[in-house]
Chain A
Amino acid sequence: MELWNHCENPYPFVPNEVLEQAESVRASLPNEYCDPKIVAQLYDEILDEYRLCDDIGLHIVTNEHHSGINNLWAASPVITGVVANITRNVRILSLGTLITVRPDPVRIAEEYATIDILSKGRLEIGFVKSGATEMVSGDANPMRLREREWEAIDLIEKTLTTRDGPFSWEGKFFTHPHVNIWPRPYQQPRPDFWAATSDLPTCAELGRRGIVNTLLFGGYDRTRQAFDAYKAARVQAGMPAPGEDRFSYMAFAYVGDTDEEALRIGQKIAWFLTVSIKSAPQFSKFQPGAVAPGMAPAAWRVGAPGRPRPTNLDAEVLIGQGQMFAGNPDTVARQIKEFRKRVGGICHIIMMTRQGLVTHAEAEASFKRSAKYVLPQLQDLPPIDADETAWAARQAAAR
């Protein structure tokens, strides 16, 4: 198995009274509350964490969100280019720039080809559908996101792999009459693609295309269902079974010297869920396309205005749901192995550790323990019971 470090670079420095009064901590919170000197310090710290990861064998994930306290990486390709330049060894996944927000997928392909050259072939390209406040910050129509995402992926793939251009593209969402990027990517024919989704039809399409399927905090059951849909689609298409390297999972993670220490620090990660996702109803449940009309009554009747947000998400609850790996190194290795078994096999674990109120020093300590004590326990694992996995895939295909 492989371990990856993902940091959203959050900004937990806005006074609580401001956050309490704001209708949303994303999209509409004025940036007067964002001190660029603090941000510069955070950038330094997290880039140092990436240098450490490069030395000790943890791969690196970058992403982007916009206009909010949850994430200060506003341009994933820019940051990924920096990471490519300050590292030498590990793989780098951009998960990713917002392809449903950005107007020109050809430009995105150019940026990724550039990073692939800079990193000498260490780039992985990740796709996210996006939504919610990102549509507001990027002035992107929240409707027909899935169709737009697939057209963007198709155009990016063709841009990265065409060698006898220029070619022309006149699609539903994107047009570009003259596509011919220089440089082309370092990896041939292109860097590997990843996509973050738990939507079962989308997982099936990822399966048919061989794109790495990653779930974000999906827990045991949703993750298993997603991976089964992926495998079932390949069975139905007469394609070979996927390797575990096609599956990935992002969870909160903290590796402590002791279980007690890990739980205490892991609890600080929950800020992500209790504070950083506060969003106005027009950016969330009432956003067009957020729920299918048939599901609107259920979505709208719950979470009525004034209902308090969760403020006490216990680390042990998150661990029980398979959304957090936390403990001493042996505990975390055991949790990950159990997760791998319950989801039918997985290669990539993306650890979200520097999150919420977790400090630079705490994060680095966890990374060192992850690399030194956890990662070795995840090598050369016996294969997942092939019969059990195949049976689950057949069951999913029958559904």
Chain B
Amino acid sequence: MSMREILRSGPIELEVLRRRSAQDGAPTLLLLHGINPISPQAPFLDLLAGHGEIVAPSHPGFGQSPGPDDRDTIYDLVHTYLGVIDALAAEKVTLIGFSFGGWIAAEVAAAGHPKLERLVLVDPFGIKLAGREERDFPHLVNTHPAELERRAWHEPARRPAGCYGVGWHTAIGDAMTDDEMKTLARNWDSLCLYTWRPHMYNPQLRQWLHRIAVPTLVLWGGSDRIVTPDYGRAYAGLIPGARFAAIDRAGHHPELEQPAAFVERVATFLEVGSSEGSLAP
């Protein structure tokens, strides 16, 4: 069953995509999307719903979520999602963040929440590793969309219909509806508001990742040339006990290019986490 609802947390209202799990007592999986909200057409959703109850809000200013008004910084998004975790009925929550949402998820986990049980980061942005004259990733707004697409996908043709990732501008054409374009424009504007400077990272986050106190899986598309697997390994190395795994034949969006492999990795992590309580690196 799939539906879009409104999720309220204090003054914040978020559009939310839910997939109920057929399984009783399935863990609640809070999905934080990347540069665009998770499409209901994304094939990984049905597979993942076999392992947990999916709650996938659209960030303020993305999709149909209102805002962002004056709550236009990463600080605001962190507090938004700490509030969302408060508002969820589940006693425990697994946080899964993709790309830009991976950055937010890492921030939330570093801040900590008593209901947070596990963390999955999928090709996240968020930290500065390279020297001051080297970029860890291209500037998403200032780089030609064709170059972004070339870097973002192992095989662009594997992009599922209705799902738009980094380099989405290249998909503009007759197959894209006006409503899709309006939503993509809204998402793009909001992303820019939140992330312009420093672009796509918080210079302070790196030194606080050690505060993450829940079992963590860092998943990476082996062909991601937006944010490379080496960056991912270093990222995982800064989180106590985090496990790193690469998914072959996938770029920046492994959940879209290799949905079965992606879900298999997450499912294994959920099972190990629940049976052992914690993960050894």
Whether B193 and A143, one on each chain, are in contact in the complex, defined by CB atoms closer than 8 angstroms, is yes
Binds A, one of B16-24, B38-46, B85-93, B176-184: B176-184
**A297-316 to B contact mask, C-beta < 8 Å, 1/0:** 10011001000000000000
Whether A300 and B70, one on each chain, are in contact in the complex, defined by CB atoms closer than 8 angstroms, is no
**A271-304 to B contact mask, C-beta < 8 Å, 1/0:** 0000000001111001111011110110011001
Binds B, one of A91-99, A134-142, A351-359, A371-379: A134-142
| Chain B min CB distance to A150 (Å) | 16
Interface size on A, residues (CB 8 A): 25
- With known contacts A291-B185, A301-B172, A141–B193 Cβ distance under 8 A: yes
Query: Which one of A172, A296, A301 lies within 8 Å of B185 (CB-CB)?
Result: A296
A44 lies within 8 A of chain B by Cβ: no
Whether B192 and A293, one on each chain, are in contact in the complex, defined by CB atoms closer than 8 angstroms, is no
Bound CA–CA A124/B70 (angstroms): 34
Whether B185 and A293, one on each chain, are in contact in the complex, defined by CB atoms closer than 8 angstroms, is yes
A163 lies within 8 A of chain B by Cβ: no
B142 lies within 8 A of chain A by Cβ: yes
Bound CA–CA A234/B189 (angstroms): 33
B197 / chain A contacts, CB cutoff of 8 Å? 139, 141
- With known contacts A141-B192, A293-B182, A300–B145 Cβ distance under 8 A: no
A23 / chain B contacts, CB cutoff of 8 Å? 144
B79 lies within 8 A of chain A by Cβ: no
- With known contacts A141-B196, A296-B184, A282–B189 Cβ distance under 8 A: no
Bound CA–CA A270/B143 (angstroms): 29
A280 / chain B contacts, CB cutoff of 8 Å? 144
B31 lies within 8 A of chain A by Cβ: no
Whether B141 and A297, one on each chain, are in contact in the complex, defined by CB atoms closer than 8 angstroms, is no
Query: Which one of B145, B184, B192 lies within 8 Å of A142 (CB-CB)?
Result: B192
Query: Which one of B143, B181, B193 lies within 8 Å of A297 (CB-CB)?
Result: B181
- With known contacts A141-B196, A281-B169, A296–B145 Cβ distance under 8 A: no
Which residues between 137 and 157 of chain B lie within 8 Å of chain A, taking CB atoms?
A: 141-145
Whether A300 and B181, one on each chain, are in contact in the complex, defined by CB atoms closer than 8 angstroms, is yes
Query: Which one of A139, A288, A301 lies within 8 Å of B189 (CB-CB)?
Result: A288
Bound CA–CA A283/B142 (angstroms): 7
| Chain A min CB distance to B268 (Å) | 38
A282 / chain B contacts, CB cutoff of 8 Å? 141-145
Bound CA–CA A141/B188 (angstroms): 13
B143 / chain A contacts, CB cutoff of 8 Å? 282
Residue of A whose beta carbon sits closest to that of B177: A297
Bound CA–CA A103/B29 (angstroms): 41
- With known contacts A139-B197, A172-B70, A293–B169 Cβ distance under 8 A: no
Bound CA–CA A292/B145 (angstroms): 19
B172 / chain A contacts, CB cutoff of 8 Å? 300-301, 304
Whether A293 and B189, one on each chain, are in contact in the complex, defined by CB atoms closer than 8 angstroms, is yes
Bound CA–CA A394/B12 (angstroms): 42
A144 lies within 8 A of chain B by Cβ: yes
**B187-215 to A contact mask, C-beta < 8 Å, 1/0:** 01101110011000000000000000000
Residue of B whose beta carbon sits closest to that of A27: B142
Whether A288 and B145, one on each chain, are in contact in the complex, defined by CB atoms closer than 8 angstroms, is no
| Chain A min CB distance to B181 (Å) | 5
Residue among A141, A281, A291 having the largest count of chain B Cβ atoms under 10 Å: A141
Which residues between 238 and 265 of chain A lie within 8 Å of chain B, taking CB atoms?
A: none
Bound CA–CA A286/B185 (angstroms): 8
B113 lies within 8 A of chain A by Cβ: no
Whether B189 and A143, one on each chain, are in contact in the complex, defined by CB atoms closer than 8 angstroms, is yes
B191 / chain A contacts, CB cutoff of 8 Å? 288
Whether B189 and A294, one on each chain, are in contact in the complex, defined by CB atoms closer than 8 angstroms, is no
A297 / chain B contacts, CB cutoff of 8 Å? 178, 181-182
Query: Which one of A283, A288, A300 lies within 8 Å of B192 (CB-CB)?
Result: A288
| Chain B min CB distance to A68 (Å) | 15
Residue among A144, A172, A296 having the largest count of chain B Cβ atoms under 10 Å: A296
Residue of A whose beta carbon sits closest to that of B143: A282
Residue of A whose beta carbon sits closest to that of B180: A297
| Chain B min CB distance to A352 (Å) | 29
- With known contacts A172-B70, A282-B142, A296-B181, A143–B196 Cβ distance under 8 A: yes
Query: Which one of B70, B142, B144, B182 lies within 8 Å of A294 (CB-CB)?
Result: B182
Residue of A whose beta carbon sits closest to that of B183: A293
Bound CA–CA A304/B172 (angstroms): 9
- With known contacts A291-B185, A293-B182, A296-B181, A281–B193 Cβ distance under 8 A: no
B225 lies within 8 A of chain A by Cβ: no
| Chain B min CB distance to A100 (Å) | 13
Residue of A whose beta carbon sits closest to that of B187: A293
A293 / chain B contacts, CB cutoff of 8 Å? 182-183, 185-186, 189
Whether B141 and A288, one on each chain, are in contact in the complex, defined by CB atoms closer than 8 angstroms, is yes
Whether A144 and B144, one on each chain, are in contact in the complex, defined by CB atoms closer than 8 angstroms, is no
Can you list 7 pairs linking A and B with CB atoms under 8 Å apart? A141-B192, A142-B192, A280-B144, A286-B188, A297-B178, A297-B182, A304-B172
Query: Which B residues are within 8 Å of any A CB, using their own CB?
Result: 70, 141-145, 169, 172, 178, 181-186, 188-189, 191-193, 196-197
Query: Which A residues are within 8 Å of any B CB, using their own CB?
Result: 23, 136, 139, 141-144, 172, 280-283, 286-289, 291-294, 296-297, 300-301, 304
Counting from the closest, the 9 A-B pairs by CB-CB distance are: A288-B192, A296-B185, A293-B185, A141-B196, A297-B178, A293-B186, A297-B181, A288-B189, A143-B193
